[in-house]
């Protein structure tokens, strides 16, 4: 018996605030959102960049570049202790919820992998399939600007795509989406649903979401976090200093949206509201827009230009027991 592929998908965009710098409480919100999305028939749900336990907004507001600062050391240590260690089972409940509700998940985390010694931090994008298995962990290739004071550069191991019904889904973290070769690596693996995750900000998503859709002739869902100054828990170290340095009501105002393969909006950027956004997409639209342009197919010239991708997981240690 041939099982027909699902050609239409329901997407869940979790534009919600983390319990900032609290891994356990934030992952509890993830579980609740997965259940809510599944109840609305979602096949895939995505969360913002660095969602668990949160984006390091304090760096640019507390002189994060001051060398050997005791304040920065304490903030970083707190952050590291709240980071996600996949090997320690921190995502087991998320995997179980994904399996229970038959829903795929893209989750932005701050990862502290034992495979790299267990002390450095990586901005990672985890894909969990509808069977509850982790399909890939993509570590951000190059942290942006002040992020480099907290996060380490990643590698190409997570530049992978995954089948989801008739779709092939892949994704990148924040400003990685501006990197043409990283995008091309996913296009060449058949990507036709691109997931771009962001800490939050309409200024990030309003242009690039439609641009990537037009370039790739794919659906693009940009999923942003949300964070008000009033959301910052008083338990965070140097709470008073961080809050005093914040301007305005929002540190991240959302901007989640979905563009179709012709670049037109399916969901326009949503700002300043915490919400689980639901969108519906049809794979037939991909074929329609690939008729005149396909960047990795009939409109490519591999005899002239090719991309080489190193997907080896980088480590300082190779054990030969």
Active site residues: 49, 140, 174
Nearest to 164 by CA among 135, 138, 124: 135
The contacts of residue 161 (CB under 8 Å, 6+ apart) are: 168, 169, 170, 186, 189, 190, 191
Nearest to 13 by CA among 172, 222, 207: 222
Quick one: the chain helix, strand, coil %, rounded to 5? Answer: 30, 25, 40
Nearest to 298 by CA among 289, 307, 308: 289
Q: Is 225:16 a contact under the CB 8 Å cutoff?
A: yes
Which SS3 state, helix, strand or coil, does residue 84 take?
A: strand
| Cα 175-259-281 angle, rounded to 5 deg | 125
Q: H helices within the chain, ranges in order?
A: 23-39, 70-82, 92-101, 180-187, 202-216, 239-244, 284-290
- Looking from the CA of 265 toward its CB, the CA atoms found within 13 Å total 10
Phi, psi at residue 206, to the nearest 5°? Answer: -65, -30
> In whole angstroms, what is the distance from residue 225 CA to residue 54 CA?
9
Q: Burial level of 81, CB count in 10 A (0-12/13-18/19+)?
A: exposed
CA distances from residue 245 to 203, 238, 239, 242 in whole angstroms, order as listed: 21, 11, 10, 5
Which SS3 state, helix, strand or coil, does residue 117 take?
A: coil
């Amino acid at each position: 018996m041939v099982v027909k592929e699902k050609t239409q998908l329901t997407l869940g965009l979790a534009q919600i605030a983390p319990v900032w710098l609290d891994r356990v409480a934030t992952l509890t919100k993830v579980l609740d959102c997965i259940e809510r999305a599944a109840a609305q028939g979602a096949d895939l749900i995505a969360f913002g960049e660095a969602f668990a336990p949160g984006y390091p907004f304090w760096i640019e507001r507390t002189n994060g570049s001051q060398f050997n600062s005791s304040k920065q050391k304490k903030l970083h240590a707190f952050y590291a202790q709240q980071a996600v260690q996949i090997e320690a089972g921190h995502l087991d409940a998320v995997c179980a919820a994904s399996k229970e509700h038959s829903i795929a998940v893209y989750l932005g985390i701050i990862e502290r992998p034992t495979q790299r010694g267990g002390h450095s931090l990586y901005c990672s994008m985890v894909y969990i399939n509808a069977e509850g298995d982790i399909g890939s962990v993509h570590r951000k290739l190059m942290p942006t600007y002040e992020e480099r004071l907290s996060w380490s550069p990643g590698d190409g191991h997570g530049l992978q795509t995954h089948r989801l019904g008739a779709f092939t889904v892949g994704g990148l973290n924040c400003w990685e989406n501006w990197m043409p070769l990283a995008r091309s690596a996913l296009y060449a693996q058949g990507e036709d649903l691109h997931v771009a995750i962001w800490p939050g900000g309409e200024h990030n998503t309003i242009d690039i979401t439609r641009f990537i859709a037009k370039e790739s002739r794919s659906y693009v869902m940009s999923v942003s976090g949300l964070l008000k100054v009033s959301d910052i828990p008083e338990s965070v170290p140097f709470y008073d200093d961080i809050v005093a340095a914040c301007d305005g009501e929002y540190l991240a105002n959302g901007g989640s949206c979905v563009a179709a393969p012709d670049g037109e909006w399916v969901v326009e950027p949503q700002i300043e509201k915490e919400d689980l956004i639901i969108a519906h997409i049809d794979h037939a639209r991909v074929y329609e827009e690939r008729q005149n342009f396909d960047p990795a197919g009939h409109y490519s010239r591999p005899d002239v230009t090719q991309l080489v991708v190193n997907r080896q997981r980088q480590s300082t240690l190779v054990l030969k027991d």
